[in-house]
Amino acid sequence: MVTDHAPRPTTRRPALPASLTPALLARLTGRISAAADAERVTTSAPYTGVPLADLPVSTPADVRDAYTRARAAQTSWAALPSGERKRILLRFHDLVLLRQDEALDLMQAENGKTRRDAFLEVTDIAITARYYARNAARYLSPRRRRGAIPVLTHTTELRHPKGVVTVISPWNYPLSMAAGDALPALMAGNAVVQKPDTQTALTALWALDLMHEAGLPDGVWQMVVGRGSSIGDTLMDNADYMMFTGSTASGRKIARDAGRRLIGASLELGGKNPMLVLADADVEKAAAGAVAACFPSAGQLCVSVERLYVAESVHDAFVAAFTARTARLKLGAAYDYGIDVGSLTTPAQLKTVSAHVEDAVAKGATVLAGGRARPDLGPLFYEPTILADVTPDMTLYDQETFGPVVSVHPVHDVEEAIARANATPYGLNASVWSRDGARARSLAARVRAGTVNVNEAFAAAWGSIDAPMGGMGDSGLGRRHGADGILKYTEPQTVAHQRLQGFTPPARMAPETWAALLTRALKILKAAGVR
Ligand code: NAD
């Protein structure tokens, strides 16, 4: 094991930020839909393990009440002119930027990520709020469609809100995953009942609180807290649409249950994302890109990279540059911008990461950087880790670690790189590095992934909010962002008004004559180039 590349400890364990006052925590937890005498659950701060929040837990009855309130509020919310919903979302946008320090403190305290990683979530939510505020009307307004018979059929496509959308979100991107999927659902005129992960519920509640400050009416967005095993069925049974982000295993259950209920579901699931470094890549840039791709939020990012396929001709130079950059990363806990890599979020995550690395090392993997937990920095820290000689018998070869661990594989040529990139059931995100952008873009189309970034890790595709984002294969169903990210929350309806002549022969015309007339009309339409 190479230990001289271990990241340097940089900070002592910080106390909780002063902005997390008892008054703020009480205001946020007061927004949870739960009875006054509810059972409580205590979360702890990953940086230190100290207790963080004492949250009421929602029972199935509390969840049913939340849907009743949401359903009652949805009708008048949907009836508002869309300009009013737009104003609320744009006010929310401004408040998020204005009060970002509070959100950054909360995200760091609940998740253990660095301030830089938390700030990305602030920008993401500002972009999402602005985009759907400014574009929803374009997607949702009634739209004329070509009628069955030109001129005679007046056809309009309408978009109705689904009703009450259920949003279930994980802990790894507590603001992006919670608010990012709720905002377009709200903008489309739905009410939302949301279950954020308990560990990061405060951040989700902060977004809800700010939406109220921005003018959201009571009842339209409800938040419940609890385990999937306790309130998951109630969330499913009352949903008109299910927006789920989490693991592939949980997503399969959600999909089965949505099928039973015959409701739509959007599933954003796990990945084992590849990065391809081609022979003509700028090695230094690719090495810097690999750091950005592998270690954000300590690798607890669905679109982060866990497999690197590097052309043999640049492999050694790339590995040297990547390893050196990784060794320079500052690992630690601090509520400022001085740290590169933060903590893992939960003991379960630390256990998985440690087990994956131990399994690989026991079976012959070589540790090029990192490779161990850092309890001296905090209970859940793990070093950014690069492994070589990773083989198919090792768990992390093709299973998601969801931590700061990447395996590097030399490849003979581009064909091998693409074949190996595609050799998992997942298909979430990928990254291709080359000096020839046009060639890289055409190779990107052959990688089986919902998003592929050229000369960038993940932010180019994720930040392209006008384009769809989501996974192929075991990485999910449906898309967020762009038109898909809001239209999925609507029920399309076609209203077709037939004027003058319909589809039956006019009075006194023989059916044969009518058939001949229609046949000629169809030929003319095709010849005229009508689509
Ligand atoms: P998880 O599936 O265990 O839990 C995610 C959330 O779903 C939690 O809030 C959990 O309480 C809830 N949940 C789980 N089963 C449920 C059920 N039957 N009913 C109701 N709620 C239920 O996932 P996790 O391990 O907490 O999150 C990490 C996973 O999420 C990783 O696999 C990661 O790749 C994935 N993820 C995917 C994306 C994406 O956009 N594709 C984004 C973030 C995370």
% pLDDT > 90, the chain: 94
Question: Residue 297: left (phi > 0), alpha (psi -120 to 50), or beta?
Answer: left
d(CA 100, ligand 1 centre) in Å: 25
Q: Confirm if 192 and 70 have CB atoms less than 8 A apart.
A: yes
pLDDT at residue 530, as a whole number: 87
Distance CA 484, CA 463 (A): 15
Whether 449 is in the pocket of ligand 1, judged by its Cβ within 6 Å, is no
Provide the token pair at 248. 């592939």
Whether 168 is in the pocket of ligand 1, judged by its Cβ within 6 Å, is yes
Whole-prediction pTM value? 0.95
Low-confidence stretches of the chain (pLDDT < 50) are: 1-6, 9-10
pLDDT at residue 14, as a whole number: 80
Distance CA 91, CA 279 (A): 48
Whether 246 is in the pocket of ligand 1, judged by its Cβ within 6 Å, is yes
Where in the sequence numbering do the catalytic residues fall? 268, 302
d(CA 318, ligand 1 centre) in Å: 34
pLDDT tens, position by position, 404-440: 999 999 999 999 999 999 999 999 999 999 999 999 9
> Over the chain, what is the mean pLDDT?
96
pLDDT tens, position by position, 360-398: 999 999 999 999 999 999 999 999 999 999 999 999 999
Going by alpha carbons, the residue nearest to atom 34 of ligand 1 is 270
Going by alpha carbons, the residue nearest to atom 22 of ligand 1 is 228
Q: Where are the beta strands (DSSP E) in 455-489?
A: 476-477
Radius of gyration of the chain (CA): 26
